Chain A
Amino acid sequence: MPEIRNYTLNFGPQHPAAHGVLRLVLELDGEVIQRADPHIGLLHRATEKLAESKTFMQSVPYMDRLDYVSMMANEHGYVLAIEKLLGVDVPVRAQYIRVMFDEITRILNHLLWLGAHALDVGAMTVFLYAFREREDLMDCYEAVSGARMHAAYYRPGGVYRDLPDAMPKYEAQISRNARAMAEMNQARHGSLLDFIEDFTARFPKCVDDYETLLTDNRIWKQRTVGIGVVSPERALALGFTGPMIRGSGIEWDLRKKQPYEVYAHLNFDIPVGRNGDCYDRYLVRIEEMRQSNSIVRQCVEWLRSNPGPVITANHKVAPPSRVDMKSNMEELIHHFKLFTEGMHVPEGEAYAAVEAPKGEFGIYLISDGANKPYRLKIRAPGFAHLAALNEMSRGHMLADAVAIIGTQDIVFGEIDR
């Protein structure tokens, strides 16, 4: 009798469900996965090493490119670490702006995740619905920083500038008539805060829309319930964070457990799952979108009534205003020193972490007192999640592996760094 052997399947790096450049070597028994071996490193850009040869400020845009669907959350982790070493005070308004954009980023990330996950499982339409709302949030990024994705908006000591009073509007196109243009620009006549408030008002309805397509759908449930189950103990042991650990029923969220910025003053809930399967993680993320929406709304309210500075007045860290620079010798020198030599961060080491949409995004920073980091280490949440892929997908079928990659919300920018 011939011997029956398992066979290996090379899944990726050019595979529509590989979320970028995941190369997965699957050992299959028929369609059942015996072993999943993720190969990483195809998107390695040496961010940590590059940071050692750049001033502290110049590395901010590199943070955007780590997890390129939750850009500002990464910047936040980085500037928090620098601020910890510097010991500067961040104005409260800047903290609110950062929290607001962190939550906008969370919605951005979860929308992309939802669309991509549903697409992996075969539901096309959610993807396009989710991108409709993403477009509006991207416009918020654009309004505040000029860039739709890689914002580079946070600075050590605050944010680059205050929220703008006007939203960019759509310009006339041949393919749209005046009425359509007016409709598209309807919410854009006020300030950025008006636009965001309008978004928070209509967004819960949009989430309901996504849910009608998926939450009670029999096929969606068959594809996700009981798939990739992780017990709470294993989730802890594997170093899960974010929705991955909350899906397993552990209420761990840095925004509540180690509140940074103004999260302690904001009112929101932490959704947790029960069974630790793909469906629970789906529900957790859907609820997180609603919670983030409410946080954004609270921030908008506060920001409306509390004007003030958005970056620290310490000119060793943050540049002085243009007016002061033109009229004052001292400020001109500060400006020149800051943009040529950069800031000097006191000797020491610090670890700062934020609750990024995917989990705990941490920066471990060692400074030797120079104008560049001595060493920068990035703790990317996706790395720990991907490491559990083998355990999560063993015994499932090939199609489930795709669902599990989707539920882990993997982005290779941060895993390969």
Chain B
Amino acid sequence: MTDWLLSAAQGTFGQVWGPVVYQTVLNLVLIVAIIVPLMLGVAYLTLWERKLIGWMQIRIGPNRVGPGGLLQPVADGLKLFLKEIILPAKANKGLYVLAPVMALMPALAAWAVIPFAPDVVLADVNAGLLYLLALTSLGVYGVIIAGWASNSKYAFLGAMRSAAQMVSYELAMGFALVVVLMVSGSLNLSDIVEGQGKGRFAAMGWTLLSWNWLPLLPMLVVYFISGVAETNRAPFDVVEGESEIVAGHMIEYSGMSFALFFLAEYMNMWLIAALTVLMFFGGWQAPVAVAPFTWLPPIGWLLIKMFFVVSLFLWIRATFPRYRYDQIMRLGWKIFIPVTLVWIVVVGVWMQTPWSIW
């Protein structure tokens, strides 16, 4: 099929341009194939969040639009589309428009290197992890620019908070991932997942126990909490802090420009969930390598695991009060970074001993 398409392209566009056109079109199709389900996932994550938190709070959640509220995200999207995008008179117009795009763009681009199943990945880059770290760091610019361009004190406070918070947790997160790449010996995400399928327990069929979460449990905790902080979710949502600085950097945004921030936040949640699953929970691998578990296709396992991690985000949101800004900083710098640094040494020494399991 692909060969036939390639030769057809070569026939139409010539030997030189044919493969280029073919590759471009193929990539565009693949990008659409990733983005469309992703957008749907984001839309329905908002619904799931409201439903799940509703159940936790003895409420029903949205149930009016469509059967059981299933069309609620569509209605929300439509509403945001139709709303006016307000440009504050004293805002820095160019940056103000650019900021939501800056927030969304890295969240989308990061999905290029996420493997959904063996060999099902848009770009099988060897420096995949580095690429991810680079892109997730870029997300903070959207927030900072939004806070600056809005020309509002609340937005500016939010931007300052986010700059400090995201940069600090980036460090802890990076160090946690360093441990993962030490034990995997690769920056390629597919290799990291494959590496978790090997080991004593995996040979016995208990793949579950060979995944990174067990030997690297402290790193998983640090990584996940940093992930929550990185996506500005409760209890680390001081950037938005609805009862303090009233949505922070988003305070002046409306309509679709606001929706883009919202999309970026939920897309980042999916991204962090995907990364947690890939790094620590064996990606697409079935937990136990016996019959009923192996029937599900690999991508199914990946999605199920991601769904659980995302639900954990929501559960945390329903449970905890919000940290204060300086307490978040203390947690990041005085607890997480030392813990990860120590654990890097511990794992490093462990790997040099005869008891190394990697």
Contacts and interface: CB of A to CB of B under 8 A. Distances in A.
B134 to A, nearest CB: 30
A210 to B, nearest CB: 13
Contacts of A214: 321
B322 A125 contact: no
B319 A222 contact: no
Contact of A128 (B57, B153, B326): B57
B321 A123 contact: yes
Contact of A222 (B238, B317, B318, B324): B324
A125 B243 contact: no
Contact of B57 (A16, A31, A125): A125
A217 to B, nearest CB: 7
B325 A219 contact: no
B237 A122 contact: yes
Contacts of B245: 398
Contacts of B327: 219, 222-223
B104 interface: no
Contacts of B238: 399
Contact of A121 (B59, B154, B321): B321
Contacts of A16: 242-243, 246
Given A125-B57, A213-B319, A219 B235 contact: yes
Chain B contact surface mostly: loop
Interface residues on chain A, size class? 20 to 34
B323 interface: yes
Interface in A234-277: none
A187 interface: no
Contacts of B243: 16-17, 119-122, 402
Contacts of A129: 57-58
B319 A223 contact: no
Nearest to B317: A124
Nearest to A127: B57
Interface string A398-410: 1110100000000
A123 B59 CA distance: 16
Contact of A17 (B57, B237, B244): B244
A10 B321 CA distance: 24
Interface string B192-232: 00000000000000000000000000000000000000000
Nearest to B247: A16
A217 B323 CA distance: 11
A402 B244 CA distance: 7
Contact of B320 (A17, A122, A398): A122
Contacts of A17: 243-244
Interface in B238-277: 238, 241-246
10 contacts: A17-B243, A118-B321, A121-B321, A122-B243, A124-B53, A125-B319, A217-B320, A217-B321, A223-B327, A397-B324
Interface of A: 7, 9-10, 15-17, 31, 118-125, 128-129, 132, 213-214, 217, 219-220, 222-223, 397-400, 402
